[in-house]
């Protein structure tokens, strides 16, 4: 799976909890994936195509080409 080139954000796993009743009784495994974008970015003076999460793009941590 892809990982953010700037902040190393990657998929994490945990449990999806069903709250159909008053107490938690059912759990199912699931993964939360980061919002990654494939962009052309200038890294160390050269243009590369890398995966960057949307948060890093918004905050200006990478210069898009």
Mean pLDDT (10-residue bins), the chain, 65 residues: 93 86 76 96 92 96 91
Instruction: Give pLDDT, residue 54.
Output: 96
Instruction: Give pLDDT, residue 17.
Output: 81
pTM score above 0.85 = no
26/34 Cα distance (integer angstroms): 25
Architecture field, domain 1-15+35-65:
Roll (2.30)
Instruction: Give pLDDT, residue 18.
Output: 75
8 burial level (CB within 10 Å; 0-12, 13-18, 19+): exposed
Instruction: Give pLDDT, residue 16.
Output: 86
């Amino acid at each position: 799976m892809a990982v953010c080139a700037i902040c190393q954000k990657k998929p994490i796993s945990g449990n999806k909890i069903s709250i159909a009743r008053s107490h938690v009784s059912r759990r199912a495994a699931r993964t939360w994936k980061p919002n990654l974008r494939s962009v052309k970015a200038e890294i160390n003076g050269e243009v590369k195509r890398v995966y960057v999460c949307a948060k890093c793009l918004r905050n200006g941590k990478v210069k898009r080409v």
